[in-house]
């Protein structure tokens, strides 16, 4: 199993969650994506977490929409860090997902990111930062990323008014 495991409740979550995968690729962090439904395949969820804990997995990124129970259920089965990404839903635009993921009971932690693609990308970045605490190559790539972001802002920091 890869260093970061990206899990989602349905293949329909992949367009959002692939932003996490792209970020991890940019930092050279191995990842694997799987579909595991908290409601439809709870036995697979438990088995996946047992496998992750026995392998090389260091971080779990979980995307879920609607009821969005997946990140919390995963966190209940592991001591690995779990980052939850609320996937935008048709009905409530992801607010339902956000509230479901962020309202975890004391003692079962899920780091909750923003709704949608930005949240997925930041989950990938955060996972790389965690990996970077023990992998200097990944940490250096994160530093380079931050430096490039800073340079891009500074290059465009002066605005002129149109006449």
Known binding-site residues for substrate equal 10, 13, 40
The mean pLDDT of 63-91, rounded to a whole number, is: 95
Instruction: Convert 78-108 to b/e letters by CB count within 10 Å (16 or more is b).
Output: bebbbbbbbbbbeeeebebbbebbbebeeee
Q: Alpha carbon 58 to chain centroid distance? A: 13
Average pLDDT over residues 91-113: 94
Q: Which fold has domain 4-156?
A: Rossmann fold (3.40.50)
Question: Please, which pLDDT band fits residue 158 given cuts at 50, 70 and 90?
Answer: confident
Reply yes or no on whether the pLDDT at 23 is more than 90. Answer: yes
Calculate what percentage of the chain has a pLDDT beyond 90. Answer: 88
**What local confidence, expressed as pLDDT, does residue 83 receive?**
98
| Residue 161 in this model has a pLDDT that exceeds 70 | no
Question: pLDDT tens digit string along 109-156?
Answer: 999 999 999 999 999 999 999 999 999 999 999 999 999 999 998 888
* 122 neighbors 145 (Cβ within 8 angstroms): no
Annotated binding site: 10, 13, 40
Give the span between the Cα atoms of 131 and 133, in whole angstroms: 5
For the chain, domain boundaries: 4-156
């Amino acid at each position: 199993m890869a260093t970061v495991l990206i899990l989602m409740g349905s293949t329909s979550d992949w367009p959002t969650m692939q932003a996490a995968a792209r970020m991890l690729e940019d930092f050279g962090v191995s990842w694997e994506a799987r579909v595991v439904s908290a409601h439809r395949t709870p036995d697979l969820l438990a088995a996946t977490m047992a496998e992750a804990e026995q392998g090389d997995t260091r971080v779990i990124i979980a995307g879920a929409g609607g009821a969005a129970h997946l990140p919390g259920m995963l966190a209940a089965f592991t001591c690995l860090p779990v980052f939850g990404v609320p996937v935008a839903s048709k009905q409530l635009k992801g607010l339902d997902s956000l509230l479901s993921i962020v309202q975890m009971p004391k003692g079962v932690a899920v780091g909750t990111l923003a709704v949608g693609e930005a949240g997925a990308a930041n989950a990938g970045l955060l996972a790389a930062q965690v990996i970077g605490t023990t992998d200097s190559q990944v940490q250096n790539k994160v530093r380079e990323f931050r430096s490039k972001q800073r340079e891009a802002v500074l290059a465009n920091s002066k605005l002129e008014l149109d006449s």
